[in-house]
Structure 1
Amino acid sequence: MSNSDNLEVRSSKASGSSASATSSATATATPNLNMNSSERSVARYDIASERIPTIKLYLSGQLTAVEAAKVIGMKPSGFHKIIRRVRARGGDLSAVTASAPGRRNSPSELQTELEQLVIDAIRTYAGKAATIEKVWVTAQILADERGLKRPSYHAVRRRLLKKGKRFLANLRLGKAEAADIFEARPGYKVTTRPLEWVQIDHTRVDLIVVDEEHRKVIDRPWVSFAICIHTRAIVGFYLTLLPPNAVTVAMLIENCVLPKTAMLASLGFDESTWPMHGVPEVIHADNAAEFRSEVLKANLKRFGVTVEHRDVGKKHQGGHIERLIGTMMSSHIHFLRGTTYSNTQQRGDEDSQARASVDITALRKFFVSKIHAYNNRKHSAIKMFPSQKWNEYYSRNAQPRQIEKSLHEGFRYVLYPEKPKLIRSGGIEMQGRFYYATCLQHKVREKLIVKFDPH
């Protein structure tokens, strides 16, 4: 086989002359440089300029492979590799240098513009339906808009995974859910007796209620619960159509501390349906404004109750009450007519308003019956009924601390919401109405602390 190997080589020289050999393919000399060429391009050009004359002599049969390799300054095996590369590219002599000199880029290293492009595309990686393919498609669209070369799927995937699982979970699930997965949760709250630590919280019920008389759609109500984490017993409950406020907290605490006899009787239940009540040692809540009232804390302190709050952003610290609320919604409320479910995906095309048929009183009765069932069902964490654990403790110890019956009204009075009000000539204005008594006639233009009974 001749050294020419049926190749034809064309190269431009300073004088404009050309050299040719018999061939069936055309090769192009090293590319021209310009003012924008990089240092690497210049270095590559220099190496190619030194090698091409020798390679042309080899291809024309004037030098052997060993001689040509010696002139270039490499081993024959390396020289043959260059020749194979030139042939693989159809005789393109620019292939005499494999790549730019220096450290080779790793597959994940893109040009600066492409790197920024992928970063911009990653912003679409949001929501639980996020996929790598979506980011890749977005990156291709952005590349077309910016006149850049489209990145491959694997280049985008490598760049995305390089961000780390925690970063991707934050984008896809949100910081709260990502923290549930990746944050350390050392330790747990240890209690030794009922009512030592009571968690409270409220949520909007996944159900649309109707009015009792005309059965017209009203809205989704709010429900509040209190749970004793030692016994897992539900010890308090309050249902209202109003958003959480000071009244909500007051009514929930009252339901937790005082006997539930009157409420149960109004709903047709016996007192034994839900006997748990007593003064908690600590009430643990989140950082909502209605729980941070200094007046509430001071008033409860008079009865030996301390209000504690979760650390900001640490939703897991209220895990017991959060799980209870989730159970009440998913296991009970979502089976009622008019439920909105937890989200639009679960609801599908069901018309919650058209199906709504439960009024607020019926819902209150429904909740009490489910609380009774919850307190008298085996709990996986304590391996017994919450009511059993409650009764087991108090069968051997003193009964829970309670407010004497003669002080019930005083306790309610302490919890009632209060506001400083200016006494006007017409009396005290509250919620659009004026209230007057003869004892106010000498206090006009004075400010008094006014409490009101939410009942």
Structure 2
Amino acid sequence: MLSREQAKRAAQLLNVHWATVYRLRRRFLANPVTSTLQPSPCGRIPGGRLDAAVETVIDDVVHEWLPAQRQLAHPATDLVLEIKRRCAVVGLDSPSRSTVARRWTAYRQQDALARAALPESMVAPGTFGVRYPLDIVQIDHTQADILLVSELDGQVIGRPWLSLALDVASRCVLGFYLGMERPGAATVGLLLTRVALPKASWLAKIGVEADWPMRGIPRVLHLDNAAEFKSRALRSGCREYGIDLMYRPVGKPHFGGHIERLNRTLMERVRGLPGATGSSAKGRKARQAEKTASLTLRDFEQWMTIEIGRRYHQSPHRGLSELPPAEKWRELSSSAEARYLPNAPDAELQFLIRFLPVELRTIQADGLNLFRIRYWHPLFAAWRETRRAVTVRYHPEDLSRVFVSAGKKSYIEV
């Protein structure tokens, strides 16, 4: 329960009446995502009235443009001018200097907290002291040491990319994603969807029976410094669902040792499969993996699911005092409060949308144009009259539809 004194203290920090704090709390508990706290037409949350497209511009300038500038005589002023310039290009009303200053201060405080949390949570360099599942989840990509073939003609199509999400406390794999394309922002979004959602429908789709109850919304994502882990889509999605981002120190791979060891373990198992290339380029030609390759992407996904769900999760783990990861998950989960997606019919789709790549566009006479593809919706006619900039989220592997918002909480499918 939230006491009256706590509500009044929160009201002072937010500059609202204490009764408003209770209303915001009820709204958030009913649907625990940050967009539920956005202002309604009859109310106002200080600093929260900005159009979503303007927020996107500020986010890009602060996280991408500003770090790329080597020397700025007046960073605060240059920040405001760059935001105004970008808003003018897409026809948006630029925010005030004080609004930009508040956003910049908030971003710097978040980054400072994330950096400060790193040494405090370390027991030894590269080792985390984590008490509960989902407290820290490590994500990493690796190119699997195996050649796969096409389902159509059996020709070799290359080595797949494996993306893994590992719960540090229990050493359980919360989800994985396999694809032939190099991982990008959409890959991370799809992987997080598997982390957060029940896996029964996915397991049925690929035809594998496995006991895989591990899921939930992470509290902290521990990542390396790859571009897809610093994308606008990942940052905005994590803000929406209350996920903090923590990055490894540059040049110190041992800070991601848990998931690196898991990658090595899985690649050692891959060596026994047809088409295995081995982890070293030396002697790869002599192994002639192209001649033995016979697994398709679906075959390899089934094998990986069985390897993780049936074998790895059920085998004694040295880092857990010989306790299997699945048993460790059950032990820790009994005393921890997990975070799940809202119980709504479109919760899965809304979660994925928040992590898809973002583009800003304006509606033209022939509709919305993205990647030389034209999209149309009846609402576009009204949006074009008001010359509103829209936020477009898209899936790089499926451009048959996009999701468009004109500054509101919801997206329409086009």
Query: Where does residue 264 of structure 1 map in the other structure?
Result: 203
After TM superposition, the score normalised by the length of structure 2 is: 0.61
Query: Where does residue 419 of structure 1 map in the other structure?
Result: 359
Query: Where does residue 140 of structure 2 map in the other structure?
Result: 201
1:257 aligned partner, one-letter code: A
Query: Where does residue 193 of structure 2 map in the other structure?
Result: 254
Query: Where does residue 281 of structure 1 map in the other structure?
Result: 219
1:419-446 C-alpha deviation (Å, 9 max, x unpaired):
1234344333334432222222354576
Q: 1:446 to 1:355 in 2, by over 3 A?
A: farther
Aligned-pair identity (%): 34
- Which of 344, 347, 351 does residue 281 from structure 2 map onto? 344
- Which of 280, 288, 296 does residue 359 from structure 1 map onto? 296
Q: Which aligned pairs between 1:30-429 and structure 2 lie closer than 5 A?
A: 186=125, 188-270=127-209, 272-330=210-268, 332-372=269-309, 373-382=311-320, 383-395=322-334, 397-406=335-344, 407-429=347-369
1:449 aligns with 2:391: yes
Do the aligned partners of 2:125 and 2:255 also contact (CA within 8 Å) in 1? no
- Structure with larger RCO (C-alpha < 8 A, sep 6+): 2
Distance in 1 between residues matched to 2:290 and 2:364, nearest whole Å: 44
Once structures 1 and 2 are overlaid, which stretch shifts more, 370-379 or 345-354? 345-354
1:186 CA drift (Å) = 4.1
RMSD after superposition:
2.0
1:348 CA drift (Å) = 4.8
Distance in 2 between residues matched to 1:187 and 1:440, nearest whole Å: 51
Count how many residue pairs are aligned between Structure 1 and Structure 2: 268
After TM superposition, the score normalised by the length of structure 1 is: 0.56
The SS at the match of 2:287 is coil
Do the aligned partners of 2:126 and 2:256 also contact (CA within 8 Å) in 1? no
1:292 CA drift (Å) = 1.1
Once structures 1 and 2 are overlaid, which stretch shifts more, 228-237 or 347-356? 347-356
1:401 CA drift (Å) = 1.3
2:308 aligned partner, one-letter code: I
Distance in 2 between residues matched to 1:227 and 1:346, nearest whole Å: 32
1:365 aligned partner, one-letter code: Q
Structure 2 runs not aligned, ≥5 long:
1-123, 399-414
Do the aligned partners of 2:233 and 2:354 also contact (CA within 8 Å) in 1? no
Query: Where does residue 50 of structure 2 map in the other structure?
Result: none
Q: 1:187 to 1:224 in 2, by over 3 A?
A: closer
The SS at the match of 2:195 is helix
Structure 1 runs not aligned, ≥5 long:
1-184
Distance in 2 between residues matched to 1:433 and 1:215, nearest whole Å: 32
Larger radius of gyration: 1
1:274 CA drift (Å) = 1.4
1:276-316 C-alpha deviation (Å, 9 max, x unpaired):
10111111000001101244223212222111100111110
Distance in 2 between residues matched to 1:219 and 1:377, nearest whole Å: 31
Q: 1:187 to 1:335 in 2, by over 3 A?
A: closer
Do the aligned partners of 2:183 and 2:228 also contact (CA within 8 Å) in 1? yes
Do the aligned partners of 2:236 and 2:354 also contact (CA within 8 Å) in 1? no
Q: 1:449 to 1:240 in 2, by over 3 A?
A: same
Distance in 2 between residues matched to 1:248 and 1:186, nearest whole Å: 29
Do the aligned partners of 2:236 and 2:355 also contact (CA within 8 Å) in 1? no
